Amino acid sequence: MSQLTFPANFLWGTATASYQIEGAWNEDGKGESIWDRFSHTPGKVLNGDTGDVACDHYHRWPQDIALMQELGLQAYRFSISWPRVQPQGRGRVNQPGLDFYSRLVDSLLAANITPFVTLYHWDLPQALQDEGGWPARATAEAFAEYAGVMAQALGDRVKHWITHNEPWCASLLSYQIGEHAPGWQDWPAALAAAHHLLLSHGWAVPVIRQHSPAAEVGITLNFTPAYPASSSQADLTATRQFDGYFNRWFVDPLYGRHYPADMVADYQKAGYLPQGLNFVCSGDMDVIAAPTDFLGVNYYTRTVCRDEQAEDNLPATLMADLPRTEMDWEVFPQGLYELLNRLHFHYGPRKMYVTENGVSYSDGPDGAGRVADERRVAYLQAHFAAAHRAVQNGVPLAGYFVWSLMDNFEWAKGYSQRFGLVHVDYQTQTRTLKDSALWYRDVIRGSVNIWGA
Ligand code: IFM
């Protein structure tokens, strides 16, 4: 075992998202979002949970910043609720909404915590959904306007901007699988949505730079590396396809490689692109490939790909038998190491941040009020060590954000999953530092060591 040291200005932080923590869904002039509409629709979210109150962060943010200070966080990644700022998605700006984020930023800076602002973490104004949502090009145009509003308001103080969080979720999970808002199941619409999300990112980059000249601008993708269950042709094809669907469809165009040709062919064959790539207009791919300052990487797990239908399959040699989290995701830290290397050597982003990594375990306070979540400590330790090995290989990793600061609304799974370093009692809104929070505080302080093999 050796003791690991990260680069001197490496940033340690935590991440959250507006709908998952803020609550105050209809206060101070905020407009309705697609997640308000979706969670208020019976049957869409487990147990009928909603983000109406969530962690009540909209009212309790001073206390939450105090918690961040207690943990010694160096950076905090949060997202802006678009309909809190522009209730109709374009045009009129709701000043109280803007003031909320402005105060938050000022207080973070006063606490010596660097704000990382995500513009879109899935709470689209319902008004824009009513006009077609992300499958409509006009939504991308509205996003560029909104990015300008935010950069103008906060750009003097915010120096790290993330346009979108996980466009795979905002497009395919939301418009093809239908598990997330707005709950469509429509392949062609989902692929158009993916394009418009990426396009809106490309349009927003220069707009943000214009109002916030010294800032770093990037995008966050979620990656699930795909591994074949065996070396059979069928499993290799399944692996290529999953990787294309989940990872390459998004990262390739951002780095100037257009949509992956193998996937375009597969989608055409399957009938998912009946009009071809007709949503791609001349010049779009150059817009999408606008140079950025960093790539945000969200990593939780891998996928083992098996074509169960194939007759000529070999026996599976790579079994999915690792420990699993309460999301039923495999714990696979090696995947983070391999992913960071792949991104660095294959795409060459200038810089990367792990903008999310963390784990859902439901440990709560014992009789003495202690939350002994040693499995989360073990998960984080192993992933930090994997990231460190990547840094040793020359990967330009500049920081790491644990998901999440506190337990929160886990989308279609409601409050059943707890990812926080801080436990939240939703009845009383009491926050309790879990053991993992205390351990993370000590990692940041440098008073406990991260161990590598
Ligand atoms: O809670 C989510 C977050 O909103 C986006 N990334 C994955 C997390 C855990 O599922």
**Cβ < 6 A, ligand 1 pocket:** 17, 20, 166, 222, 298, 356, 403, 410, 419
What pLDDT was estimated at residue 141? 99
326 counts as catalytic: no
Q: Among the atoms of ligand 1, which is closest to the Cα of residue 20?
A: 4
Residue whose entry in the numeric block shows the structure tokens 């077609």: 132
Task: Choose among 352, 360, 340: nearest CA to 407.
Answer: 360
What pLDDT was estimated at residue 453? 62
145 counts as catalytic: no
Is the whole-model pTM more than 0.95? yes
What pLDDT was estimated at residue 313? 87
| Closest residue to atom 2 of ligand 1, CA basis | 410
Distance 410 CA to ligand 1 centre (A): 7
In contact, 410 and 399? CB cutoff 8 Å: no
Distance 411 CA to ligand 1 centre (A): 8
What pLDDT was estimated at residue 2? 73
Rounded Cα distance, 70 and 315, in Å: 51
Count of structural domains within the chain: 1
Q: Among the atoms of ligand 1, which is closest to the Cα of residue 165?
A: 5
Q: Please choose from 221, 326, 411, 418 the residue to mutate so as to test ligand 1's pocket, defined by most ligand atoms within 8 A of CB.
A: 411
Rounded Cα distance, 183 and 441, in Å: 39
| Closest residue to atom 4 of ligand 1, CA basis | 17
CATH number at residue 208: 3.20.20.80
What pLDDT was estimated at residue 196? 99
As averages over each run of 10 residues, the pLDDT of the chain (453 residues) reads: 86 99 98 99 98 99 98 98 99 98 99 99 99 99 98 98 99 98 98 99 98 97 97 96 98 98 98 98 98 98 95 84 94 98 98 99 98 98 97 97 99 98 98 98 88 69
Q: Among the atoms of ligand 1, which is closest to the Cα of residue 169?
A: 5
Distances in Å between the Cα of 366 and the Cα atoms of 272, 361, 370, 374, 379 are 51, 15, 5, 14, 21
**Domain span at 420:** 2-452
pLDDT in tens, 17-36: 999 999 999 999 999 999 99
| Closest residue to atom 9 of ligand 1, CA basis | 410
